Chains A and B, each alone.
Chain A
Amino acid sequence: MSPNNRELTVGEMLRNAGVSRRGFIKYCTAMASVMALPPWMGAAMAEQLRNAPRPSVIYLSFQECTGCFESLTRSFAPTIESLIFNVISLDYDDTLMAAAGDAAQTALTTAMKDNAGKYVLVIDGSVPTGAGGAYCTAGGRSAVDTLRDAAKGAAAIVCVGTCSAFGGIPFADPNPTEAWPVTAIVGDKPIINVSGCPPIPEAITGTLLQFVTTGKVPDLDEHRRPKVFFGNTIHDRCYRRPFYDEGKFAKSFDDEGARNGWCLYELGCKGPTTYNACATLKWNGGTSFPIESGHGCIGCAEPGFWDKGSFYAAQSSAEWGKAGDSSPRKVLELGGASAAVGAALGAVSAGVGRLRQHRSEHSAVDAERKGA
């Protein structure tokens, strides 16, 4: 992170670090493959990166748990992780940097000043605005003020994690800190959301790398997420999908169906409504992902996931109340009360009908008598 290193091109930096040209091209090809780019993009990326100065990246952590950063540091191979930190110039990151106090704040302001208009701003965590932003401060400044300042000179903003992308858990009802996602605070910069709680490490590194190498915002979905990682639902790519198609569902987490790897739809898996690459990239070097480990997807990459009812209610089930409420009992109460009112109305309307019929019969008889 020293200023001298930052001025070197990526190629020079890697040569100094002992990374071979072959290793670097292999890395770029792997990243192009992860991002579903054509094979020639690997070489193009390598060429672009080799001759480019390392782009400055400022990583700000706000109202979060550091899980996203933990995820980022577990990119699936150590060599790739080290390359990521050599490809970009991580000029400020309050979790990793050795500097503290005023020195850290100086590093931030220097990076923002030296790279104005060029740096990539990575945001981790939601932005609390309650109590004048006092719920999250660093260096005597609130998160919301820091974000507004840092966003001014950013080339693009990458929101890492559901908290910065969609508000996440702090944003969930009742949102005591009046937290907001970055998109609610900054409106005039390209924003890329890499959601997830936490996001897949390769989705973070891949998105950063794609922006750094091409200088362009990747294709995004309606939630500003890169389509390359968020283009399909987990359900569509899930290895348990054939069991869904066969109608084979686990009924509990320890039944025979669960042991046989059957679909977890009825146990509340949110895979059908969650767009993410968990089923393809997986976690921990492609070892596994939550569904493979026996638990349904909780939909953490989707907006408002914490407020969408029980994690254990099937996707198609009625949303009758908060988790733990007994739906059938409430349905019976509501349905029974409505039916009772309906029955009373039916009885009244039948009574009125009979009365009218009775009157018309009597008036007919009376008319007949008078006529006679």
Chain B
Amino acid sequence: MDLLSFARGPALKVAITIFCLGAAWRVVAFALLRIRRDLNKPRASVFKYMTGGLVAVASRSWPHREFIGRTGAGEALGYSYHIGLFALVLLFAPHIAFLGSLVGVTWPGLPSSLITIISVVTLTLFLAVLFRRVTNRVMRMLSNFDDYFSWFITMLVIVTGLAATAHFGAPYQTLLGIHILSFDVLLVWFPFGKLMHAFYIFPSRAINGALLARKGATS
């Protein structure tokens, strides 16, 4: 069995198994977390604090007016590379074929040359994100192995993907094998690291917003 067959065969199966198991474990454990009972009288109706949760999801996805000068650049960077990742993962024809083979549905993609440009831009943004994390003292102190490894493995998938497209340094099938293998590693790491924010980000904002709305605060 060559590297490519291994990466998209047995390794992918193991990775998907660990990903599904780990993600379901953490999501269910999170959902069943005990929230301390608030004995105070609610200051808003049930409807209001439920909608407060939804409002929080929207309002906290945008920089607060008061802090836009301090956080705007960071948020713009974050949004940019997330949009880049979205395009790379979901709009590149070989990726659509890959995902289609897993889920049974395909959709239109973007031209490969445009995807190459997006890859390079996203790669640059990723380096900028790392630079910001390393040079900003507060962020550096807040960062741990999880942050750096999550950055590294995501970056690795993009770099190996670009190398495979450009046939850089090795035959295409070897590079494609390495690319898919790096994606397998990402899948394995996903549920156990900060990449899991993809599952948590909106529910946690909604819960926080709802709890605050119950106390009469606006998000």
Interface size on A, residues (CB 8 A): 49
B93 touches A247 (CB 8 A): yes
Q: Which of B40-48, B76-84, B109-117 contacts A (4 or more CB under 8 A)?
A: B109-117
Q: Are A340 and B24 in contact (CB-based, < 8 A)?
A: yes
Question: What is the 8 Å Cβ interface bit string for chain A, positions 293-325, against chain B (1 contact, 0 not)?
Answer: 000000000111000110001111111100000
Q: How far is the CA of A265 from the CA of B165 in the complex (A)?
A: 14
- Please measure, in the bound complex, the distance between the C-alpha atom of A168 and the C-alpha atom of B71, giving whole angstroms: 61
* Contact (Cβ within 8 A) A233 B172: yes
Q: Which residue of chain B lies nearest to A331 when distances are taken between CB atoms in the complex?
A: B102
**Would you call A17 an interface residue if the criterion is a C-beta within 8 Å of the partner chain's C-beta atoms?**
no
- Interface-facing stretch out of A126-134, A149-157, A349-357: A349-357
Complex: A350 Cα to B35 Cα, angstroms? 12
* B9 lies within 8 A of A319 (CB): yes
Stretch at the interface among B14-22, B131-139, B140-148, B152-160: B14-22
> In the bound complex, do residue B20 and residue A353 qualify as a contact, i.e. CB atoms below 8 Å apart?
no
Complexed CA–CA distance, A235 and B94 (Å): 14
Q: Which residues of B contact A331 (CB under 8 A)?
A: 16, 102-103
Using CB atoms, name the residue of chain A closest to B18.
Answer: A338
A125 to B139, CA, bound (A): 64
CB pair A327–B20 under 8 Å, yes or no, is no
B4 at the A/B interface (Cβ < 8 Å)? yes
- Cβ contact within 8 Å between B24 and A314: no
Say whether B26 faces chain A, with CB atoms less than 8 Å apart: yes
Interface contact B29-A350, CB-CB below 8 Å: yes
Decide if A343 touches B24 in the complex (CB within 8 Å): yes
- Complex contact A265–B27 (CB within 8 A): no
Query: B17, B28, B98: which contacts A317 (Cβ < 8 A)?
Result: B98
Asked if B97 CB lies within 8 Å of chain A CBs, one says yes
B218 at the binding interface (Cβ < 8 Å): no
Question: Nearest chain-B residue to A248 (Cβ)?
Answer: B111
The yes or no answer to B54 lying at the interface (CB within 8 A) is no
Query: Does B173 belong to the interface (CB within 8 Å)?
Result: yes
CA distance A351 to B8 in the complex (A): 37
Q: In the bound complex, do residue B25 and residue A346 qualify as a contact, i.e. CB atoms below 8 Å apart?
A: yes
CB of A335 closer than 8 Å to a CB of B: yes
CB contacts (< 8 Å) of B29 on chain A: these are 345-347, 349-350, 353
Distance A161 CA – B32 CA, assembled complex (angstroms): 62
Task: Judge whether A236 and B167 touch: CB under 8 Å.
Answer: yes
Q: Given A245-B112, A331-B16, answer yes or no on A347-B101 (Cβ-Cβ < 8 Å).
A: no
Contact of A320 with B9 at beta-carbon distance under 8 Å, contacts A340-B24, A349-B25, A350-B28 already known: yes
B171 at the interface (CB under 8 A from A): yes
Q: Say yes or no: is A185 at the interface (Cβ < 8 Å to chain B).
A: no
- Verify B5–A266 contact, CB threshold 8 A: no
Interface centre among A222, A275, A316, A338 (most CB of B within 10 A): A316
**Contact across chains for B98 and A316 when beta carbons are under 8 A apart:** yes
**Residues from chain B with Cβ under 8 Å of A272 in the complex:** 172-173, 176
CA–CA, A326 to B63, complex, Å?
45
B38 lies within 8 A of chain A by Cβ: no
Contact A346 B176 (CB under 8 A): no
CB of B160, distance to nearest CB on chain A (Å): 13
A317-B112 in contact (CB<8A) = no
Q: Is the CB of B4 within 8 A of A273?
A: yes
Known: A316-B98, A317-B8, A349-B25. A247 touches B173 (CB 8 A): no
The A-contacting residues of B in range 84-116, CB under 8 angstroms, are 93-95, 97-98, 100-104, 106, 109-115
Contact B17 A334 (CB under 8 A): yes
Bound complex: CA A316 to CA B92 (Å) = 11
- With known contacts A245-B111, A317-B97, A273–B176 Cβ distance under 8 A: yes
| Chain B 112-134 interface mask (CB, 8 Å, partner A; 1/0) | 11110000000000000000000
Cross-chain contact of B112 among A246, A315, A340, A345 (Cβ < 8 A):
A246
Give the CA-CA distance A308 to B9 in the complex, in Å: 10
Whether A328 sits at the interface, judged by CB under 8 Å, is yes
Contact assessment for A265 and B22 in the assembled complex, using a CB-CB cutoff below 8 Å? no
A69 interface residue (CB < 8 Å to B): no
> Could you pull out 29 A-B pairs where Cβ atoms are within 8 angstroms?
A235-B172, A247-B111, A247-B115, A251-B106, A272-B173, A273-B172, A314-B100, A314-B101, A316-B97, A316-B176, A317-B97, A320-B13, A327-B104, A328-B102, A334-B20, A338-B16, A338-B18, A338-B19, A339-B24, A340-B24, A342-B20, A342-B25, A345-B21, A345-B29, A346-B28, A347-B29, A351-B32, A353-B33, A357-B34
8 more contacts with CB within 8 A, not counting A246-B113, A342-B26, A343-B24, are: A245-B112, A247-B109, A247-B114, A272-B176, A302-B173, A315-B97, A317-B98, A327-B104
Q: Which residues of A contact B (CB under 8 A)?
A: 222, 233, 235-236, 244-247, 249, 251, 265-266, 272-273, 275, 302-304, 308-309, 313-320, 327-328, 331, 334-336, 338-343, 345-347, 349-351, 353-354, 357
